[in-house]
Structure 1
Amino acid sequence: MKLPLIGCAIGALVIATPALAQTPSQDDLAALVRAQAAEIAALKARLDRLEGTAATAPATIAATPQTTPATPAPERLAQVTPPPVITQPFAPQLVPPGPAERDITRARSAEASGVTTEWGAGLPVFHSADGIYTFKPRGRILTDVSSTMGSRYNGRNTTTTGMRALRLGLEGGVGNHFFYQFESDFSENEVDIVTAFIGWRNRIGKGIDYDVRAGHLFNDRGFEGSTGSDSTPFLERTVVSTAILPQRGFYGIGIMPRLFWKTGHASLTVTGDRVDGNQGGNDSRTLLARAHWNPIKDDRRVLHVGLWGFDEGLSATAGTLTRNTVIGGRFNGALRVSTGALLGGTGTTGYGAELGGYVGPVWVMGEAGERHARLDGSRPDFVSKAWSLSGGWFLTGDLPPYNPRLGSFGQPRVLKPIFDGGPGAIELTARYENLDYSSLLTGGRGWAATVGANWYLNSFTRIQINAIHWDTDNRAGAYIGPDNGETVSARVAVTF
């Protein structure tokens, strides 16, 4: 659009310049070039202003007569509408902007629409302008390495690595009542749907509210059994959590109403099998209940008391009760406490208790549980017993990440993250745990003592190390008889 007009202007200047009728000198040519350059610059500036007017007021320009004199004067050029020649495949307002322009445009659009974004644990939370819709991506990356030594069986003295969790998911809500969550885990070379539910929450009265969730639900069972894998103070949950549980494991499809008050909560869960369970027959049925109470609760102190129990009716296709329970690290498959092969189960009943709390940066928690597995025929029940005592101390003065609403551990609130120039939060931990399957002739037993350290770089990033002395006595399997040794494990974890 600009080039034809500028060319006409140059032609007019050449014709009208008397110096061209004679042979020009070098000085004349230099002066002429400078004059023409000045005229071209002036015309270009006026054309830029003209096009700016066309972009902001197309109706006015369209009404301008489409006439152009043969030799337009500069003043006349400012009133002439350029011909409608399109030299690019996009309208000017649709031309893809550069990276910086794109970011600015999106930011202005978000601001204009009223959408707000807040950054929490590593990822943004989006809120609609009217406050009705919320959305947040979520996930966790837990990477472990483990080395076992000292066993009298060479097959147990191994060094292994693994992804304890590799999750991606989302959560959100509509209004004040409806909410949802979905997560899928990709660890151990498998795709596994974990949490997946919709829910409704409301308030009953002052200080009392409830929610009801339906879908693929995580157990509310025990202190560490109700704590997510990204929030446990040790690399693996206690044997109370891993052994005294329904046969279906930590998840099941069903419904869970929960009631909350100022000093505690209670839940009731009715579920069938896991989301990827056997679809060839009836589901097993599990009824589970838990309640916790904080008789002491202030800014620096909490006393925690909890009770839980479950009853499970097994389907005909789920009669296998064999257990091989972690005792010295998740990723050493040879290091387990085993029941031996156990078939013919018809149901299980389990129960447990929790007692603990914290004062300032020091916490302690004791758990115990028992599980009775009912066998067909005249055989007596298979009884599993487990207990543990755990504790921790935050050297940096941070408070333990206790969640008084759910009676479990969550993500810590680090007072001085390293990304702000602080030391992060440093915690020392210790635990003793004991597991007994010996009510069976083929059942084993085991115990483990663990010392560890956790370094929380900020509220969602941490490094953990555990040193475990373990002792087992299995009566079945590849590693029979008394055995003991040490396992050292470490983890790098990010939760968002």
Structure 2
Amino acid sequence: MTKNYLAGAALSALLFATPTLAQSAPVDQAELVALLKAQAEEIAALRARLDKIETGHAAAPAASAPQQQAAAPRQTTRASDDAVANSFAPQLAAADLADQSVAQARALQNVSNVTTEWRGGLPIFRSADGKFLFKMRGRMINHVSTTFGSDYDARNITTTGARALRIGIEGAVGPHFFYQFENDFADNTSDVGTMFVGWRDDIGSLSYDVRFGNMFNDRSFEGSGGSDAPPFLERNVVATSIIPQRGFYGIALMPRLFWKTGHASVTLSGDAVDASQPINDSRTILARAHWNPFKTARSLVHLGIWGFDEELSSRGTGALTRNTVIGGRFNGNLRVQTGTLTGGTGTTGYGAEVGGYAGPFWVMGEAGKRVARLNAGRPDFETTAWSVSTGFFITGDLPPYNPRLGTFAQPRVLRPVFDGGPGAIELLARYESIEFSGIPNATEGTAATLGANWYLDSIIRFQLNLIHWNTDNRAGSFTGKDSGQTVSAGFGITF
């Protein structure tokens, strides 16, 4: 049958070529005979080659068994890969390549004869030998918010904005070396986000990785996850205010150690990616650890601690001015403000986390304090913040907790909308408080939020937050006690 197929293919090629010859200039009969002879010789050569192959197969009939055995590991490897991912966190979508364990990386490598696999909304490209892995990554999160009830008309506005508009890549070479890069185009600006290379390995029952590059802080529960990780449209005030002056990112060296019930990390960093080479970078040392003292398939207890110490550049401005979000990110007039504050020499911050989940219900509380040191013998500028939040999946899905990193991540939706299910529906509540003290313009703010999330699948979500906020600013255009309401909604896709 294969012989006939090859002969038919050659004959078809000749037939398709014949009209072309007919449409071209008249062909000499001798040339046509020569062409047919060449075609016949090529078909004969193909038949001889096929006969040789089939003769070899006939001499070794057992060759079909290895082929079947080769196909079996591919299925088994896929199953083991899913098992590894499920044991890693049953409720999570597949982990990023850079956040996988060595076992997960090896499981992906062992998927033979598969060079492209769809996972998490995008394809993973893999070399035939499983050595090289590569995938694109992206994030689109858009918000709209409207504020009313403020004593200041300038605060009662409706605004829109892109919380994140990212495109990036990630990949691995073998089970140990990995890399990641992302660029964010939100607010019509181009900013380098994540950009690092790393190495991972096992030490007995422990595992570790070491990263170098521009990296996101591992600091506080909500502050350690990406913009798509928190269940609310904006991170809580602990994550946004108890933070180094350089912000969420810094070019850093970060070793991390993982064990069965937790992890610990240490970060030594300078400033984030910038073009300020004529001056010294600030220096930040940051550490965080989390522990799950109790963990089952459907319940878990989370404990965490973290802290940092930052030395501001002696040649910098020492600016410590803070304008912290309290009632939604996209109302620029709605902030807890310190007014202009300069002359900082360094900051020290620390915090604690406690929470967990039982089935579809979760609760998380965290608190922190930041002390900013001022020059000229002035008293320290202090920031105190705390937050308590809770949620319940009425569809029975598990909270998207990542036990490897001790933070929220993408959910694994049990019954996606695109498969005829309802998706995952989550109801939320949060109360948070922030206070700036030790400066002439001491101020404070609080916010109570009710929310709902609808996850169509593990990568697409709709969010709604109803926020009642209070501020008492002593500086800026909106001083004195003020309160009001903000309604925010958002749509997000994470690949």
Q: Could you tell me which residue of structure 1 aligns to residue 191 of structure 2?
A: 192
Distance 2:408 2:228 in 1: 10
* Structure 1 counterpart of 2:417, one-letter code: I
Shift of 1:128: 1.1
Distance 2:326 2:182 in 1: 27
1:310 correspondence with 2:282: no
* Structure 2 counterpart of 1:400, one-letter code: P
Q: Could you tell me which residue of structure 1 aligns to residue 140 of structure 2?
A: 141
Q: Could you tell me which residue of structure 1 aligns to residue 392 of structure 2?
A: 393
Matching of residues 172-321 of structure 1 within 5 Å:
172-206=171-205, 208-276=206-274, 278-315=276-313, 316-321=315-320
The answer (yes or no) to whether the contact 2:379–2:439 under 8 Å persists in 1 is no
Cα separation, partners in 2 of 1:52 and 1:142, compared to 1, 3 Å: farther
Q: CA offsets per residue over residues 378-414 of structure 1, 9 Å max, x none?
A: 1111010000000000000000000000000010000
1:473 correspondence with 2:446: no
Give the fraction of aligned pairs with identical amino acids, expressed as a percent.
64
Q: CA offsets per residue over residues 181-236 of structure 1, 9 Å max, x none?
A: 00000000100000000000000112x10000000010000100001111110000
The answer (yes or no) to whether the contact 2:268–2:283 under 8 Å persists in 1 is yes
* Structure 1 counterpart of 2:325, one-letter code: V
The answer (yes or no) to whether the contact 1:356–1:365 under 8 Å persists in 2 is yes
Shift of 1:114: 3.8
The answer (yes or no) to whether the contact 2:379–2:438 under 8 Å persists in 1 is no
Distance 1:239 1:165 in 2: 19
Question: In structure 2, the residue corresponding to 1:155 is in which secondary structure?
Answer: helix
Question: In structure 1, the residue corresponding to 2:215 is in which secondary structure?
Answer: strand
Question: In structure 1, the residue corresponding to 2:254 is in which secondary structure?
Answer: strand
**Greater mean alpha carbon deviation, residues 432-441 or residues 197-206:** 432-441
Cα separation, partners in 2 of 1:234 and 1:49, compared to 1, 3 Å: farther
Q: Could you tell me which residue of structure 2 aligns to residue 493 of structure 1?
A: 492
Distance 1:4 1:135 in 2: 43
Matching of residues 13-32 of structure 1 within 5 Å:
none
* Structure 1 counterpart of 2:115, one-letter code: T
Cα separation, partners in 2 of 1:489 and 1:53, compared to 1, 3 Å: farther
Q: Could you tell me which residue of structure 1 aligns to residue 130 of structure 2?
A: 131
Cα separation, partners in 2 of 1:51 and 1:407, compared to 1, 3 Å: same
* Structure 2 counterpart of 1:138, one-letter code: R
Distance 2:305 2:46 in 1: 76
Q: Could you tell me which residue of structure 2 aligns to residue 119 of structure 1?
A: 118
Question: In structure 1, the residue corresponding to 2:487 is in which secondary structure?
Answer: strand
The answer (yes or no) to whether the contact 1:392–1:427 under 8 Å persists in 2 is yes
The answer (yes or no) to whether the contact 1:149–1:487 under 8 Å persists in 2 is yes
Q: Could you tell me which residue of structure 2 aligns to residue 374 of structure 1?
A: 373
Q: CA offsets per residue over residues 302-338 of structure 1, 9 Å max, x none?
A: 1000000000000021400000000001110000001
* Structure 2 counterpart of 1:465, one-letter code: L
The answer (yes or no) to whether the contact 2:147–2:486 under 8 Å persists in 1 is yes
* Structure 2 counterpart of 1:199, one-letter code: G
The answer (yes or no) to whether the contact 1:286–1:311 under 8 Å persists in 2 is yes
Distance 2:39 2:362 in 1: 69
**Greater mean alpha carbon deviation, residues 271-280 or residues 175-184:** 271-280
Shift of 1:56: 4.1
Cα separation, partners in 2 of 1:49 and 1:296, compared to 1, 3 Å: farther
| TM-score, normalising length: structure 2 | 0.79
Question: In structure 2, the residue corresponding to 1:241 is in which secondary structure?
Answer: helix
Question: In structure 2, the residue corresponding to 1:398 is in which secondary structure?
Answer: coil
Distance 1:5 1:232 in 2: 67
C-alpha RMSD of matched pairs (Å): 2.3
* Structure 1 counterpart of 2:273, one-letter code: V
Distance 1:2 1:244 in 2: 77
* Structure 2 counterpart of 1:439, one-letter code: G
1:365 correspondence with 2:364: yes
Distance 1:59 1:368 in 2: 75
Shift of 1:129: 1.1
Distance 1:168 1:184 in 2: 6
The answer (yes or no) to whether the contact 1:211–1:258 under 8 Å persists in 2 is yes
* Structure 2 counterpart of 1:116, one-letter code: T
Q: Could you tell me which residue of structure 2 aligns to residue 348 of structure 1?
A: 347
Q: CA offsets per residue over residues 414-457 of structure 1, 9 Å max, x none?
A: 00000000000000000000000133221210000000000000
Question: In structure 1, the residue corresponding to 2:187 is in which secondary structure?
Answer: helix
The answer (yes or no) to whether the contact 2:140–2:494 under 8 Å persists in 1 is yes
* Structure 2 counterpart of 1:435, one-letter code: I
Q: Which runs of 5+ in 1 are unaligned?
A: 8-43, 61-112
Q: Could you tell me which residue of structure 1 aligns to residue 150 of structure 2?
A: 151
1:416 correspondence with 2:419: no
Distance 1:313 1:277 in 2: 19
The answer (yes or no) to whether the contact 2:310–2:346 under 8 Å persists in 1 is yes
Q: Could you tell me which residue of structure 2 aligns to residue 106 of structure 1?
A: none
| TM-score, normalising length: structure 1 | 0.79
Q: Which runs of 5+ in 2 are unaligned?
A: 1-16, 24-31, 48-111
Cα separation, partners in 2 of 1:5 and 1:164, compared to 1, 3 Å: closer
Cα separation, partners in 2 of 1:176 and 1:4, compared to 1, 3 Å: closer
Radius of gyration: which is bigger?
Answer: 1
Question: In structure 1, the residue corresponding to 2:239 is in which secondary structure?
Answer: helix
Question: In structure 2, the residue corresponding to 1:309 is in which secondary structure?
Answer: strand
Distance 1:140 1:403 in 2: 19
Cα separation, partners in 2 of 1:430 and 1:53, compared to 1, 3 Å: farther
Aligned residue pairs total: 406
Distance 2:190 2:312 in 1: 25
The answer (yes or no) to whether the contact 1:284–1:318 under 8 Å persists in 2 is no
Cα separation, partners in 2 of 1:475 and 1:134, compared to 1, 3 Å: same
Cα separation, partners in 2 of 1:396 and 1:378, compared to 1, 3 Å: same
The answer (yes or no) to whether the contact 1:2–1:47 under 8 Å persists in 2 is no
